[in-house]
Amino acid sequence: MELLHQKIKQEGVVLDGGVLKVDTFLNHQVDAGLMFEIGRTFGELFAESGVTKIMTIESSGIAPAVMTSLRLQVPMVFARKRKSLTLREDLYTERIYSYTKQEESEVTVSRKFLTPADRVLIIDDFLANGEAALGMARIVLQAGAEVAGIGIVIEKSFQPGRGKLAEQGFRVESLARIASLEDGEVLFV
């Protein structure tokens, strides 16, 4: 997706440890026009996949997931990282390790929002080691539902995430695949 590539090149900041900071348009401040185009693109990629629901993890995946759900005309549900007074029982739960935050989170989704009849498209902002996408897939499978595919906004192809997802048989579509972040420069696949 050329528009996303341009945004990454212009506004992305490469940090130590193979981290790409994109807080000006994706995971702090949100470029709504770009998110609309991301949703349109994911909608086109998965139009024939029988998607009945979109799922992401709060919070950075919400904007692209909402725009994808708008395009596909299906509901979007997000896995919560924090406990809520209104969400305490009847939950699907998974522990997910965040490479960027260097911490483990327990994420939850209410059982009333996922059913065995669902075909779920997982949307996430980044794919690095694959832990978030795998955790969300495990929640979908706990519900007896099917993973229709996994849509990633930015994939760090030099990390093992795609391989882990492919080993499980999941279809992965990434809009920007980064080959390297060496010497502070973003190189695409």
For residue 19, list its beta bridge partners.
15
Q: In this model, does residue 42 exceed pLDDT 80?
A: yes
Q: In this model, does residue 85 exceed pLDDT 60?
A: no
Q: In this model, does residue 123 exceed pLDDT 70?
A: yes
CA distance 95 to 81: 10
* Residue 105 three-state SS: strand
List pLDDT tens digits, range 16-38: 888 999 999 999 999 999 999 99
CA distance 45 to 32: 20
Got the DSSP string for 26-44?
Answer: TSSS--HHHHHHHHHHHHH
Read off the pLDDT band of 86 (50, 70, 90). low
Biggest CA pair distance of the chain: 48
Read off the tokens for 33: 């026009």
Read off the pLDDT band of 83 (50, 70, 90). low
Q: Which sign, positive or negative, has the C-alpha torsion 12, 185, 173, 117? A: negative
CA distance 23 to 51: 29
Read off the pLDDT band of 81 (50, 70, 90). confident
Read off the pLDDT band of 105 (50, 70, 90). confident
